[in-house]
A and B are shown apart, each in its own frame.
Chain A
Amino acid sequence: MTSPNKILRAVLLVLRLALGGVFVYAAWTKLRQPWVVFAFSIDAYHVLPEWAVTLVARTLPWVELMTGLLLLAGRWMRVSTVATSALLGLFFALMVRAYARGEAIDCGCFGPGEAISPLTLLRDGSLLGGSLLLLVSAYRKPRKPAPLATEDLAESSYRPA
């Protein structure tokens, strides 16, 4: 293995663990308080009807937790990086929209009490960049073929040509 490859692998490993940790932490900050507290943050963006605000507030923290754990474990990388990139892309777009409109609202990233600012935009933008890098790397890596089970082999040998 060449040296640049080693560095890239190390960078991707750090990115994966950092992003996984951030997602697990974000989920934890929301799950330790009543779901309705997060619902206020979602509602402040004024993009969803009330029934959808409730649905997202109740489910999104669990999705964040699952994708975070998958990233930390390094399993189902294609699925988990698509999920994190889609979520971060959506969050980033909503935050940029709110900031551009001059809305002084909480970002809702890690529980209440953190207003959208250039710093939160920079942080989320960086996370999105890291997530996209992991996504590209997951899709460039060839998938390992699934090993055939012995029974399948035995069954296939009786199949007529």
Chain B
Amino acid sequence: MKLSAILLLGLALCLAAPSRIDTAKTFGNPAAPVTIVLFSDFQCPACGALHRSLMPSLMRDYVQSGKAYLVYKEFPLMMHAHAKEAATYAVASARVGKYEQVADALFQNQASWGVDGKVWETVASVLTPAEQKKVQMLVKDPGVLSEVAGDMQEGLEQNVNQTPTMVFIRGNRRYPIGGPNNYNLLRTLIDDLSK
């Protein structure tokens, strides 16, 4: 009886546990009222546009001020030949504390590496020689590969059907927004959820 109760409790805890979060790919206060999970593809032009135009304002107004917690998730689309490789390098770079810099470099130069496939050259440009060595080792690590696969699986479970998709979470309320590009609407939603 006791054993079955413990097993049931364990199962309940497993089911209730939040999805796995790589803290090296998160920004802001984990206790913020609103969590934003961003499913993104480094080779997708709309993701690049979002990263350049809207993310700086979002980071300044909500993430750095502690009103929102931002979590990056990889969602490389099959139609983009080098997206999965880029996602794997980004996750590996997160393990040496360089996710933000690598993500910036990949988004800024997606037009070039997206065509010539020189993903590593773009990634390496923001890493020190020691970090480059570590990332080259980490990129073959099963843990890194499974993290990319896990992010994709999580996206599929949350009905992500395009990139970028932002999932806004407050308590048990979840609102997936595909291709958000209007900052005023984003502010309205976050402010509304924060109340």
Seen from chain A, the residues whose Cβ lies within 8 Å of a Cβ on chain B are 33-34, 36-37, 39-40, 43-44, 50, 53, 104-106, 112-115
Contacts and interface: CB of A to CB of B under 8 A. Distances in A.
B19 interface: no
Contact of A37 (B179, B181, B184, B189): B189
B161 interface: yes
8 contacts: A34-B193, A36-B189, A39-B185, A39-B188, A43-B181, A112-B175, A113-B161, A115-B162
Given A34-B189, A36-B189, A113 B182 contact: no
A50 B184 contact: yes
B161 A50 contact: no
A40 B180 contact: yes
A44 B179 contact: yes
Interface residues on B, range: 10 to 19
Contact of B162 (A37, A39, A104): A104
A43 B182 contact: yes
B178 interface: yes
B176 interface: yes
Given A112-B176, A113-B176, A115-B178, A36 B161 contact: no
A47 to B, nearest CB: 13
Contacts of A36: 185, 188-189, 192
